């Protein structure tokens, strides 16, 4: 091998060596996982394609159509419109843009429960809208309270979350949709985390709420790079109406396609191919089974944590387990765990630590973590 190449490779390997690996089971707080081998293959095969140019790379458009046809069924529809994005942040931005492009937008207000993801705060600020958040005390939003806010602020868009970032709470999508419909307000559901869990856990009777395009819902964001086993960056925004999708596309008359969509220009085709491959490989039944396994492991983690003295745990709704120690401040505990090689995230609203049970995690990883945590809190 060329000497220069082998030198660079050995340096790359050194960087890789000091990178935490998912399969070691110590990345516990991040909503990332190791992608499926088939998804990586699909991604690499399409590595030089540009989804921003579906004229030259028309296969991507065909795959997009097939993805939409399949997953529409998962959300109770026959035909949805949509776009593969770089993830939840871009999808959430796009939902606000779609809402702004409708003529019905009187006030530049985004209305959302205070559990909303930071990407909505970021998008509102960048797009020059005022974000009004409704206090929830870490509960699903009360539709009656939300209705009062709708009357008062006449928002441009209502955004609720199906699987909040800190606790996995599911807002009452169906009830909020009724309000959106009645007041004719664009409604977006941020299901970046919960989108590939809720339909399956609902069907299994593990949660009380489903995720569907109830009348009044305009768009839903789901992320494949979270629970869909595709490489980062791959999310998706789903629309009920074609017009809302067209509103995120802009003229680019010098290209053969004539327009480009979303926030990026040149954008990777790999995510489209990998989402297509995973949708075909797993389908509803495969993701169903995966969701059950993750939910079981989250329940197991919850029970194990309950067994540790002075630890209080929040019962998981989706596979997110949040806990805290009665005396050790959560940030202190977080960094104690970092020193043991464990990466958890914070749930600042409850001053707790967050474990997200992702597809790569196994019971042995949790057992080892519990052992380390038990020792740490004893010290």
**Binding to ligand 0PR by residue 88, rule CB under 6 A?**
yes
Helix pair 88-101, 118-126: axis angle to 10 deg: 40
**Of the ranges 56-64, 84-92, 247-255, 319-327, which one interacts with ligand 0PR (CB under 6 A)?**
84-92
**Of the ranges 42-50, 187-195, 202-210, 259-267, which one interacts with ligand 0PR (CB under 6 A)?**
187-195
Least separation, in Å, of the C-beta of 79 and ligand 0PR? 25
**Binding to ligand 0PR by residue 161, rule CB under 6 A?**
yes
Q: Which is nearer to ligand 0PR, 180 or 230 (CB)?
A: 230
Identified binder of ligand 0PR from the candidate list 98, 124, 165, 347, rule CB under 6 A: 165
**Binding to ligand 0PR by residue 195, rule CB under 6 A?**
no
What residues are paired with 236 via a beta bridge? Answer: 84, 222
**Binding to ligand 0PR by residue 170, rule CB under 6 A?**
no
Question: Is the distance from CB of 113 to CB of 141 less than 8 angstroms?
Answer: yes
Q: Which is nearer to ligand 0PR, 177 or 356 (CB)?
A: 356
> Distance (Å, rounded) from C-alpha 260 to C-alpha 255?
9
**Of the ranges 1-9, 138-146, 186-194, 315-323, which one interacts with ligand 0PR (CB under 6 A)?**
186-194
Residues in 225-244 at the binding interface with ligand 0PR, rule: CB under 6 A: 235
Q: Which is nearer to ligand 0PR, 30 or 241 (CB)?
A: 30
**Binding to ligand 0PR by residue 119, rule CB under 6 A?**
yes
Q: Which is nearer to ligand 0PR, 93 or 200 (CB)?
A: 93
**Of the ranges 65-73, 93-101, 123-131, 188-196, which one interacts with ligand 0PR (CB under 6 A)?**
188-196
**Binding to ligand 0PR by residue 31, rule CB under 6 A?**
yes
Q: Is 76 left (phi over 0), alpha (psi -120 to 50) or beta?
A: left
**Binding to ligand 0PR by residue 155, rule CB under 6 A?**
no
**Of the ranges 62-70, 87-95, 212-220, 249-257, which one interacts with ligand 0PR (CB under 6 A)?**
87-95
Q: Which is nearer to ligand 0PR, 119 or 124 (CB)?
A: 119
Identified binder of ligand 0PR from the candidate list 49, 50, 89, 227, rule CB under 6 A: 89
Alpha carbon distances (Å) from 372 to 173, 314, 323: 39, 20, 15
Least separation, in Å, of the C-beta of 307 and ligand 0PR? 26
Identified binder of ligand 0PR from the candidate list 123, 158, 192, 333, rule CB under 6 A: 192
**Binding to ligand 0PR by residue 190, rule CB under 6 A?**
yes
**Binding to ligand 0PR by residue 117, rule CB under 6 A?**
yes
**Binding to ligand 0PR by residue 87, rule CB under 6 A?**
yes
3-state SS string for the chain: CCHHHHHHHHHHHHHHHCCCCHHHCCECCCCCCCCCHHHHHHHHHCCCCECCCCCCCHHHHHHHHHHHHHHHHHCCCCCCEEEEECCHHHHHHHHHHHHHHCCCCCCCEEEEECCCCHHHHHHHHHCCCEEEEECCCCCCCCHHHHHHHHHHHCCCEEEEEECCCCCCCECCHHHHHHHHHHHCCEEEEEECCHHHCHHHHHHCCCCCCCCCCCCCCCEEEEEHHHHCCCCCCCEEEEECCHHHHHCCEEECCCCCCCEEECCCCCCECHHHHHHHHHHHHHHHHHHHHHHHHHHHHHHHHHHHHHCCCCEEEECCCCCEEEEEECCCCHHHHHHHHHHCCCECEEEHHHCEEEEECCCCCCHHHHHHHHHHHHHHHHC
Q: Which is nearer to ligand 0PR, 117 or 212 (CB)?
A: 117
Q: Which residues bind ligand 0PR (CB under 6 A)?
A: 30-31, 87-89, 92, 117, 119, 161, 165, 190, 192-193, 223, 235, 345
């Amino acid at each position: 091998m060329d000497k220069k190449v082998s030198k660079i490779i050995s340096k790359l390997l050194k960087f890789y060596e000091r990178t935490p690996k998912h399969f070691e089971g110590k990345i516990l707080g991040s909503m990332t996982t190791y992608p499926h081998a088939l998804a990586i293959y699909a991604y690499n095969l399409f590595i030089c394609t540009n989804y921003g140019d579906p004229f030259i790379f028309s296969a991507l458009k065909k795959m997009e159509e097939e993805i939409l046809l399949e997953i529409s069924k998962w959300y109770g529809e026959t035909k949805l419109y949509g776009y593969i994005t770089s993830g939840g942040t871009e999808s959430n931005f796009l939902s606000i843009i779609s809402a702004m492009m409708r003529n019905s937008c009187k006030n530049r207000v985004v209305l959302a429960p205070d559990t909303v993801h930071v990407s909505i705060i970021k998008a509102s600020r960048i797009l020059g809208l005022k974000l009004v958040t409704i206090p929830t005390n870490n509960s699903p939003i009360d539709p009656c309270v939300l209705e009062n806010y709708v009357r008062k602020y006449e928002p441009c868009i209502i955004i609720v979350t199906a699987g909040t970032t800190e606790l996995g709470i599911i807002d009452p999508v169906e009830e909020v949709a009724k309000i959106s419909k009645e007041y004719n307000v664009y409604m977006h559901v941020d299901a970046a985390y919960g989108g590939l869990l809720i339909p399956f856990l609902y069907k299994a009777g593990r949660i009380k709420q489903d995720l569907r395009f109830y009348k009044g819902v305009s768009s839903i964001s789901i992320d494949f790079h979270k629970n869909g086993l595709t490489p980062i960056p791959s999310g998706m925004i789903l629309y009920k109406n074609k017009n809302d999708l067209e509103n995120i596309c802009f003229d680019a008359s010098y290209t053969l396609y004539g327009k480009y969509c979303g926030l990026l220009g040149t954008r990777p085709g790999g995510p489209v191919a990998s989402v297509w491959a995973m949708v075909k490989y797993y389908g509803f039944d495969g993701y169903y089974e995966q969701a059950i396994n993750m939910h079981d492991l989250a329940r197991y983690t919850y029970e194990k944590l309950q067994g540790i003295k002075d630890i209080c745990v929040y019962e998981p709704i989706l596979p997110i387990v949040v806990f805290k120690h009665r005396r050790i401040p959560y940030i202190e505990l977080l960094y104690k765990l970092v020193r043991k090689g464990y990466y958890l995230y914070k749930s600042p609203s409850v001053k707790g630590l967050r474990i997200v049970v992702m597809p790569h995690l196994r019971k042995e990883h949790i057992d080892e973590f519990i052992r380390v945590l038990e020792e740490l809190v004893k010290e």
